[in-house]
Amino acid sequence: MIDIHCHILPDLDDGPREWQESLDMCEMALRDGIHTIVATPHIKPGVYEPEKKLILSRIKELNIRIEKTNWVTGPTGSVPLTILPGAEVHLQPDIISKIDDVAINPSTGPIRYFCLELPDYFLFPMVKELIQELRSKNIVPILTHPERNLTIMRNKKILFEFIKAGVLSQVTAMSITGEFNREIQKITKKMITSDLVHIIASDAHSRDGRPPILSRAVEETAKIIGIDRAEKMVRDIPQAVIEGKKL
């Protein structure tokens, strides 16, 4: 599986504070069946503002530390877990000018994807216009955890309109399995039933409270739409995003 939204890098945002917790999270992900994690630290002006150079250096260091572990190894002798660069970008006026710094693997394909986080309250026409402008430039926003956004929770038709405009919708694994609350779980499963979800990701922040686990959410999703479609949300679609392919 591929986890395309994960706060795995230490001391950059509200994710893990120390390298050991990052490594513990990586081991948990590996044992859950995850082979690739896109590191997505928050980029939110005035709150979290890690520079691209720092993000890339932390990713390089984490991959090196992973290689030195004694975890289960692949056929080549290396640990079959890779950390890739990304970011979770909070909605901001100059977001288009920052895409080169936050796009997921922007050089591997014609489409550039990035994780977009909306505030709980926003102006629908402004966001829809931004989505359309991004799409005109072959940039595709991946809308993170819409099931936990207060405006969308109250009116799921907004998510439908955003998807029509060109976004991908990514829900959190724990929203599906009910660890947040039953209301969020109910909303998330309704979104899945209504074809308003493309990707499942962990949005992990820690070893204990918000772990990088996907398998349980895939199992629950399979009960709703079948195993093939559920697995595409953690395999085929995230892989296409990483490779910059058109979906």
Domain count, the chain: 1
**pLDDT band per the 50, 70, 90 thresholds, residue 106:** low
Domain that holds residue 181: 2-243
Q: From residue 232, how far is each of 93, 172, 173, 195 by CA, in Å?
A: 33, 15, 14, 13
* 20 vs 76 pLDDT, higher one: 20
* Average pLDDT across the chain, whole number: 92
* pLDDT above 70 for 105: no
Tens-place pLDDT, residues 19-69: 999 999 999 999 999 999 999 999 988 898 888 899 999 999 999 999 999
CATH number of domain containing 236? 3.20.20.140
**In the prediction, which pLDDT does 38 show?**
96
pLDDT tens digits, one per residue of 135-194:
999 999 999 999 999 999 999 999 999 999 999 999 999 999 999 999 999 999 999 999
Number of Cβ atoms within 10 Å of the Cβ of 120: 10
Residue 246 backbone phi and psi in degrees, to 5: -80, 135
83 contact partners, CB below 8 Å, separation of at least 6: 8, 26, 36, 37, 38, 39, 59, 62, 63, 66
**Mean pLDDT, rounded, for 206-226:** 96
Question: What is d(CA 106, CA 119) in angstroms, rounded to the nearest whole number?
Answer: 25
pLDDT of residue 95: 84
Query: Which amino acid, 117?
Result: E
The upper half-sphere exposure of residue 74, i.e. CA atoms within 13 Å in the direction of its Cβ, equals 12
